[in-house]
A and B are shown apart, each in its own frame.
Chain A
Amino acid sequence: MTRWLAMTAGLLIWAAHFLGLYLLASAADVWSSTEAAAGRWIGLGFSLLCLALIAVVAVVMARRPLPDGPGLWERRVALTGALVAAVGVTWQTTPLAF
């Protein structure tokens, strides 16, 4: 199970980031306004947190001793997945500035 989680960790964090921002915007729409500054700053903080998590996960995985055959391949999938996830999280953060 942990091997699956490792391979998809970056993407799981992406999913949490997307869901979190969407819920935040929906809550703001219902309770005050999506323009409200508070919501934007919370969103930014949350986004930086997610990026940091992806970075931590990637570094932890990269630092482990080099595994053999399948493990090495799985690590490549995990690290490149984390990279794509980080790009996605970054792009999803930009709307907070508009």
Chain B
Amino acid sequence: MTSETGFDVRKYDRFPTEEPRPDGELGQLEAAWCGPRRPGEWITAINNNIIGVYYVGAAMLFFVLAGVLALLMRTQLALPMTGFLPQDTYNQIFTMHGTVMMFLFAVPAVEALGVLLLPQMLGARDLPFPRLGAYAFWAYLIGGLAFFCSLFFGLAPDGGWFMYPPLTGMTYSPGINADFWLLGIGFIEISAIAGAIEIIVGVLKTRAPGMTLDKLPVFAWAMLIFACMIIIAFPSVILATLLLELERALGWPFFDPLKGGDPMLWQHLFWFFGHPEVYIIFLPAAGAMSTIIPAMARTKLVGHPLVVMAMLATGFISFGVWAHHMFTTGMPQISINYFSAASMAVSVPAGVQVFAWIATIAAGKMRFTTPGLFAVGGLVIFVMGGLTGVMVAMVPFDWQAHDSYFIVAHLHYVLIGGMVFPMFAAIYYWLPMSSVRPLSERMGKWIFWLMFAGHNIAFLPMHLTGLMGMPRRVYTYLPGRGWDLPNFISTIGAFLFGLAVLLWVIDMIRNFRPFGPREAGNIHDGPGLEWLPSGYYSVRSVPVVKSLYPLWEQKGLAKEVREGRWFLPGAAGGERQTLVTSPLNAEPQYVLRLPRPSPWHVFGAVFTAGFFLILTIQAYAAAVISGVLAIYCIMRWCWFLDAPYSRKATDIGAGVRMPNYVSGPSSHGWWAMVIVLIVGGMVCLLAGFSYVFLWSRRPDLWQAPPETASMMLHLGVLALAGLCAAGAPRVLRRARRGAETLATALLLISAIGAATATGLELRAWWFAGLKPDATSQGAAVFALLGWAGTFAGIGALMGLYILLRRTFGRVSADRPSTVDLIGLFMAYTAGQAAMVVLLIRLFPGGGS
């Protein structure tokens, strides 16, 4: 195979090395990666082995909390007209149950699994941006807990987890309850995106050498696709929440039909996110199934390329089915039919995976351990949910089933079978990697059977209840409709499920002992690299991977790794390091220096969460202060990036030398920035869609744009800004005299140019008579320009930052990454603003 990077793969033959490792090398590695000693260090820790455990724990906490809400709901619905919960309370509780489960449990849980497992699984020492991951975790934890507490003040949102306007507009939801959802969930999405960046760069750039795509673990494939889907889908809900918050706070009519808005816009934006969201939740769990079942059956996964293809296909096709949540809204028949066809198509790859799992079980000898039970039980439940999914993909049937308890049954079957059961399988399977003792197998079997029975007793009757005409989201129901008995049975099932979870919590308390001196280890004889002997530094040395099942097929690997006979056996210079490899063939490219723990990302998370939450309670001055402090903390955190280093290269073993620093398109920082810009681009693209959509609904409201001369001026300034931003990295690399100052100046000019042009464009529209709270055109134009302006504002902050770095001598021609990344961002900002200007000026053109 031709080399991807020019690396000579014959160098792999030098490994495993023969000579004994130098004295003190292991000690130096342990010291560099030492775990927390003082109490505060447990909070500033950034190692994925620690943050991963916290993250899974927080997600499961939210699972339990939202589960308690479900029990309250089922108590209310056990009998007709019980009056156990007042109407308002029930409406808040069901909204919170859905919101917490979807946003604070499901996505974070699988993301947490990735944080905990991926580095080990890939042979890396940690994720590539540990502080970013830790920041995302703390923001999620603080924000999520504060959000949940809104229940205790009667301030929880009560518009349903998908929060349709106009019900959630200011007129019909005047309290701050809806704002809690919009601002609270809005920034938790930022947390998810930060995690997605880590996972994409981690899976593509920090694998063990030799781990070509066909040897990439299926779970890692799943996480990669999951993260890419987040990047494309989450911007839609970020935009939707921004628009609704603007409508509520400032009266900009995106969804208010009286001024040209359309409630359907929310539905399109929400479901463009919402449907991929459920596959985002399912895919990592499916990846876990594809890992656990082969391990439990002690045989290779049957149809491995088909399974990976199926996950890719699911990732793509799930973006084409969103309007199957809108079949009853009166959309044109042909559009509805396209979504029906695509919804059928998306079930094909799911079936491929299910049969691959069955074939794997048949090819091996399945062990009925707790992980195996949860995997098989999950498979059965998921298949049932998938079948009802095909039913509701048929439009006429959906017209009856939509918004009834039939859908409640369907969604719980696919989510519990497709995610919750695999999650428990994953917890039982991988817990020995992080805990001194594994969980009890005996209790595990009880927990499984209780949960399986409880689930079916709770949710199977709901299919019938739906067919009997019971709608969703009802706080009570009238007697005499035949709904009494199925509801009562469902409640019994729910409490059985709850009992199972309680037993699990008890077993966790009895047996889960993380951060101990040694872990229980590979008690299930799993094949993956995550089962190599490890410490806080993950593996002692990074092996060359020659198989998809390294521990089964590379004999003696564990011993060799522990003896340091593969790559990177120490911590050169006492630094934390991991190996960066190429995305396709995993050929070594450079050594990534990882940071040590520090408090700034924690403070940054606290103040970021503070900003959004204080904004919700409308204490604006305090919110601004919190926001400024957040920016300060983030800048302090970034200050230590791109730092000078003493050695240019490291010997990563057997005389193979790798650079310690790489800039440009191969570098992990570049990738992270590009992903951020894709997120920004998706928001802008969807905002542009919203603009065109609103125009198509009310073309009569559209007024003509300001005169063309101003457009040419603004575009000219933006072109200049873009050129300066693109030029700054080039200037810096030329390394002529004064290059650092010139590059800094170019970036400052770019920032000022983008901000000026965007501001002038806003001003031109304002003085042309367009007001954002008067018509949907005004709202859309100002929203688009506001988005462009936000980027210009962040660019201005970056200009300030680079100026500070230049002042303190931290801009240097041999370390151009900071200027590269800021240049990328600013060039994108100028380009995005130009696209926005062109759209609002040229479409639909001269006005009505």
Tell me the A residues contacting B by CB distance below 8 Å.
Answer: 3-4, 7-8, 11-12, 14-15, 18, 21-22, 25-26, 29-30, 34, 67-74, 76-77, 80-81, 84-85, 87-88, 91-92, 94-96, 98
Contacting residue for A81 out of B309, B342, B345, B584, CB 8 A: B309
Give chain A residues whose Cβ lies under 8 Å from the Cβ of B316.
Answer: 8, 11-12, 14-15
Which of A21, A84, A92, A96: most chain B CB closer than 10 A? A84
Interface set, chain B 210-237, CB cutoff 8 A to A: 212-215
A7 to chain B, nearest CB (A): 7
Contacting residue for B319 out of A7, A15, A74, A84, CB 8 A: A15
Judge if B337 is at the interface, Cβ distance under 8 Å.
yes
B4, closest chain A residue (CB): A3
Task: Evaluate contact between B309 and A77: CB separation under 8 angstroms.
Answer: yes
Task: Evaluate contact between B333 and A34: CB separation under 8 angstroms.
Answer: yes
Tell me the B residues contacting A by CB distance below 8 Å.
Answer: 1, 212-215, 304-306, 308-310, 312-313, 316-317, 319-320, 332-335, 337-338, 340-342, 344-345, 348-349, 584-585, 696
Give chain A residues whose Cβ lies under 8 Å from the Cβ of B1.
Answer: 67-71
> How many contacting A-B pairs (Cβ < 8 A)?
102
Task: Evaluate contact between B349 and A70: CB separation under 8 angstroms.
Answer: no
A53 to chain B, nearest CB (A): 15
A15 to chain B, nearest CB (A): 6
Question: Main SS of the interface on chain B?
Answer: helix
Task: Evaluate contact between A25 and B344: CB separation under 8 angstroms.
Answer: no
Task: Evaluate contact between A77 and B338: CB separation under 8 angstroms.
Answer: no
Task: Evaluate contact between B305 and A95: CB separation under 8 angstroms.
Answer: no
Task: Evaluate contact between B212 and A70: CB separation under 8 angstroms.
Answer: yes
B352 to chain A, nearest CB (A): 8
Task: Evaluate contact between B306 and A34: CB separation under 8 angstroms.
Answer: no
Task: Evaluate contact between B308 and A34: CB separation under 8 angstroms.
Answer: no
B468 to chain A, nearest CB (A): 31
Task: Evaluate contact between A95 and B345: CB separation under 8 angstroms.
Answer: no
Task: Evaluate contact between A88 and B312: CB separation under 8 angstroms.
Answer: no
Give chain B residues whose Cβ lies under 8 Å from the Cβ of A85.
Answer: 313
Contacting residue for B305 out of A8, A30, A73, A98, CB 8 A: A73
Contacting residue for B342 out of A4, A71, A92, CB 8 A: A92
Docked Cα-Cα span, A98 to B340, in Å, equals 13
Give chain A residues whose Cβ lies under 8 Å from the Cβ of B215.
Answer: 70
Docked Cα-Cα span, A96 to B262, in Å, equals 27
A40, closest chain B residue (CB): B334
Docked Cα-Cα span, A91 to B343, in Å, equals 10
Task: Evaluate contact between A34 and B312: CB separation under 8 angstroms.
Answer: no
B124 to chain A, nearest CB (A): 20
Task: Evaluate contact between B312 and A95: CB separation under 8 angstroms.
Answer: no
Docked Cα-Cα span, A21 to B345, in Å, equals 16
Task: Evaluate contact between B309 and A18: CB separation under 8 angstroms.
Answer: no
Task: Evaluate contact between A7 and B312: CB separation under 8 angstroms.
Answer: yes
Task: Evaluate contact between B313 and A11: CB separation under 8 angstroms.
Answer: yes
Docked Cα-Cα span, A84 to B317, in Å, equals 10
Docked Cα-Cα span, A30 to B335, in Å, equals 13
Contacts A8-B312, A77-B308: A70 and B213 contacting too (C-beta < 8 A)?
yes
Docked Cα-Cα span, A68 to B585, in Å, equals 13
Task: Evaluate contact between B345 and A91: CB separation under 8 angstroms.
Answer: yes
Please list the 9 inter-chain residue pairs (A to B) with the smallest Cβ-Cβ separation, ordered nearest first: A95-B337, A73-B214, A88-B345, A70-B212, A76-B305, A91-B341, A11-B316, A18-B320, A34-B332
Task: Evaluate contact between B335 and A70: CB separation under 8 angstroms.
Answer: no
Contacting residue for A26 out of B212, B585, B696, CB 8 A: B696
Task: Evaluate contact between B338 and A21: CB separation under 8 angstroms.
Answer: yes
Give chain A residues whose Cβ lies under 8 Å from the Cβ of B212.
Answer: 69-70
Contacting residue for A92 out of B332, B341, B585, CB 8 A: B341
Task: Evaluate contact between A69 and B317: CB separation under 8 angstroms.
Answer: no
A69 to chain B, nearest CB (A): 7
Task: Evaluate contact between A14 and B335: CB separation under 8 angstroms.
Answer: no
A75, closest chain B residue (CB): B305
Give chain A residues whose Cβ lies under 8 Å from the Cβ of B306.
Answer: 76, 80
Contacts A70-B1, A77-B305, A80-B306: A25 and B696 contacting too (C-beta < 8 A)?
no
Docked Cα-Cα span, A26 to B306, in Å, equals 35
Contacting residue for A80 out of B309, B342, B585, CB 8 A: B309
Docked Cα-Cα span, A72 to B345, in Å, equals 26
Give chain A residues whose Cβ lies under 8 Å from the Cβ of B312.
Answer: 7-8, 11, 77, 81
Give chain B residues whose Cβ lies under 8 Å from the Cβ of A69.
Answer: 1, 212, 214
Give chain A residues whose Cβ lies under 8 Å from the Cβ of B304.
Answer: 73
Give chain A residues whose Cβ lies under 8 Å from the Cβ of B349.
Answer: 84
Docked Cα-Cα span, A9 to B230, in Å, equals 21
Task: Evaluate contact between B317 and A88: CB separation under 8 angstroms.
Answer: yes
B440 to chain A, nearest CB (A): 40
Give chain A residues whose Cβ lies under 8 Å from the Cβ of B335.
Answer: 22, 25-26, 29, 34
A66 to chain B, nearest CB (A): 13
B215, closest chain A residue (CB): A70
B546, closest chain A residue (CB): A69
Given known contacts A25-B338, A76-B309, A84-B349, what 17 new A-B pairs fall within 8 Å (CB)?
Answer: A11-B313, A11-B316, A26-B335, A34-B333, A34-B335, A70-B214, A73-B304, A73-B305, A74-B214, A85-B313, A88-B345, A91-B341, A91-B342, A91-B344, A92-B341, A95-B334, A98-B337
